[in-house]
Structure 1
Amino acid sequence: MHPQSPVLRALAEKWDAVPAAERANFQSYATEFCAALGVALPQPRGSGYEFEYPVTTTDRRTGKDATNFIDLYHQGRFILEAKHTDAGLGADRVLGAAYGQAKGYAGDVPHAPPPYLMVMNIARTLLVWDRWSGNYGGVNASRRIDLRTLWQRDDDIEFLRTVWNDPDSLNPAIRGRVVTREVAERLAKRSASLEGRGLDGERVARFLMRCVFTMFAEDVGLLQGKPFQTALQAIGGGGGGKSHNTNRLQRNT
């Protein structure tokens, strides 16, 4: 169980029977939700993390400017629009319209569009979109999170905490570069270790490339049953020490 689960469960129980009333309920619920999630609470006007953040929009038909307000804005992190409607009363349609509203605001804020858009049906559902692919996708591209049972799902809790605290770490491109760098460093160390035992450098390079390709083939399903992983586990448990086992694997590849 996640450390925040008990507080999130208590929050869900408290708000379960609260009548739908967006204006009356959103800021109270959002503040309690942030506290239960274990993230910073919204701050006063001008902080960049605030309720009712003003944005200037231009009417495409008349060309006139108007000021609208984002329900909750966190600069460089997310835009959150809230609704409060009962299930079965066109809730998805209402949330879909709110997504269009939030997406419009993303182009109106005076900073770079944030990586995440969120639409909340207060105390019921949270829909989350990201723009890592270059845009936020369509209305059906969201990650749907049931707020009533959020306390039961550690992965969703950690995901939301990261959206609040460090959304860029969820960028697949950044994560991919980090993983690639870590893999390259490990391969370089393994190569140096093998060559340090007197093995030919070209042979070591071919061996490591075969290992990388085989692991890739397993991950994408080209090799069923993970035979390479099974072989590594068998060799690892076969005794003889790391050097002996590595040499055994190299002789068999």
Structure 2
Amino acid sequence: MTPEDFIAKWRGNTLTERAGSQAYFLDLCAMLGVPPPNDPDNYCFERGAARTGAGRGWADVWKRGCFAWENKAPGGNLADALRQLMTYALALDNPPLLVTCDRETIQIHTHFTGTPSETHTIALPDIGQPANLQKLRWLFTDPERFRPRRTTQDVTAEAAERFAAIAQALAARGADPQQVAHFLIQCLFCLFAEDAGLLPARLFERIVEKAPPRLKDLASAWASCLPPCVRAASSCWKTSPGSTAACSRSCSPRRCNPPTRKPCCRRRAWTGPTSSPPSLARSLSAGLIRPSAAS
């Protein structure tokens, strides 16, 4: 099968996930000139695996030492497919590559120990490009080709250097060292909370981008970026040490109830830093994002 034949057959194909996934993969093997799944212990369809914290499931395709592959119907959520693969990874001997596919797009996620993950995306119309064909063959024959050059230690060191440079720049402008440390911890927590799904996607980034030059406008800029449920939770914070923090049921973005200014519960005392969310936005504008506008 030529790349042109493959694209023509699968462009706009409306088969369901179950009906189309194996036929698609077999055609892909034929196009690449690699053997199809043929060994239940090393290279097969529907490899059974214990899912971390979720019982048992099946990886759609698995090749020992190479990849695990999860299919979705066209337009399916590939992020969900990746999360599903992650729950299988340990039971599948931690394959170095995790592949998600909805027959319109193939995403190859690197999963090498000690390295940051990288994603290689191949769209169906571009599958015949020589570089993309080579990447797809490497999936089956040479997964080490995908190993990132940087390690997680390199990434951590680079991030630490950037945070140190920010701290030095703020200190050189006369900022109190404790306030600088507090501000950077807040930034780090926001970045973590985004990655962990505790905050809406790119919320912190949008706040930084929208930060106006004058401090008096920062609180409203912060509020405009927040969904109603988070605005409701933010209004409940007390800023004095030892005061009670609201632990509102409406705080979760996944369960967004109509906002209310009345705390729904007072189950734990707030013993952390005394700054409310708007103070973080003020710090961003005054200390980092717009240094020329700070007074």
Cα offset, 1:26, TM superposition: 0.4
| Residues 38 and 136 (structure 1), Cα distance of their counterparts in 2 relative to 1, 3 Å cut | farther
Match of 2:282 in 1: none
Match of 2:72 in 1: 83
Match of 2:37 in 1: 42
| Residues 58 and 168 (structure 1), Cα distance of their counterparts in 2 relative to 1, 3 Å cut | closer
Match of 1:130 in 2: 110
| Residues 171 and 135 (structure 1), Cα distance of their counterparts in 2 relative to 1, 3 Å cut | closer
| Residues 69 and 142 (structure 1), Cα distance of their counterparts in 2 relative to 1, 3 Å cut | same
Contact map agreement 2:62 2:69 (CA 8 A) in 1 = yes
TM-score scaled by length of structure 2: 0.47
Cα offset, 1:100, TM superposition: 0.7
Q: Secondary structure in 2 aligned to 1:79?
A: strand
Q: How many residues align?
A: 150
Contact map agreement 1:145 1:156 (CA 8 A) in 2 = yes
Q: Secondary structure in 2 aligned to 1:108?
A: helix
| Residues 156 and 80 (structure 1), Cα distance of their counterparts in 2 relative to 1, 3 Å cut | same
Which residue identity is paired with 1:126? I
Q: Secondary structure in 1 aligned to 2:100?
A: strand
CA offsets per residue over residues 40-78 of structure 1, 9 Å max, x none?
A: 1111423x1100000123537xxxxx3210000001000
Q: Secondary structure in 1 aligned to 2:60?
A: strand
Cα offset, 1:20, TM superposition: 3.8
Q: Distance in 1 between matches of 2:57 and 2:112?
A: 26
Q: Distance in 1 between matches of 2:116 and 2:24?
A: 26
Q: Distance in 2 between matches of 1:133 and 1:155?
A: 25
Contact map agreement 1:117 1:128 (CA 8 A) in 2 = yes
2:63 pairs, out of 59, 69, 74, with: 74
Residue 16 of structure 2 is aligned to residue 21 of structure 1: yes
Cα offset, 1:172, TM superposition: 5.3
Runs of 4+ in 1 over 4 A off after TM superposition: none
Match of 2:47 in 1: 53
Residue 95 of structure 2 is aligned to residue 114 of structure 1: yes
Cα offset, 1:108, TM superposition: 2.3
Cα offset, 1:37, TM superposition: 1.3
RMSD of aligned C-alpha atoms? Answer: 2.3
Q: Distance in 2 between matches of 1:80 and 1:10?
A: 23
Q: Spell out the pairing of 1:1-253 with structure 2 (5 A cutoff).
A: 7-46=2-41, 48-59=42-53, 66-86=55-75, 91=76, 94-109=77-92, 111=93, 113-122=94-103, 124-132=104-112, 134=114, 137=117, 141-151=118-128, 153-171=129-147
TM-score scaled by length of structure 1: 0.54
CA offsets per residue over residues 141-167 of structure 1, 9 Å max, x none?
A: 42110123211x111111110121121
Q: Distance in 2 between matches of 1:42 and 1:165?
A: 13
Contact map agreement 2:49 2:91 (CA 8 A) in 1 = yes
Which residue identity is paired with 2:114? G
Contact map agreement 1:22 1:83 (CA 8 A) in 2 = yes
Which residue identity is paired with 2:142? D
Q: Distance in 1 between matches of 2:50 and 2:90?
A: 10
Task: Tell which has more relative contact order, 1 or 2 (C-alpha 8 A, sep 6+).
Answer: 1
Q: Runs of 5+ in structure 2 lacking a partner?
A: 150-295
Q: Runs of 5+ in structure 1 lacking a partner?
A: 1-5, 61-65, 174-253
Which residue identity is paired with 1:52? E
Contact map agreement 1:129 1:136 (CA 8 A) in 2 = no
CA offsets per residue over residues 121-156 of structure 1, 9 Å max, x none?
A: 12x10001113462563xxx42110123211x1111
Q: Secondary structure in 2 aligned to 1:39?
A: coil
Q: Distance in 1 between matches of 2:62 and 2:116?
A: 16
Cα offset, 1:103, TM superposition: 1.6
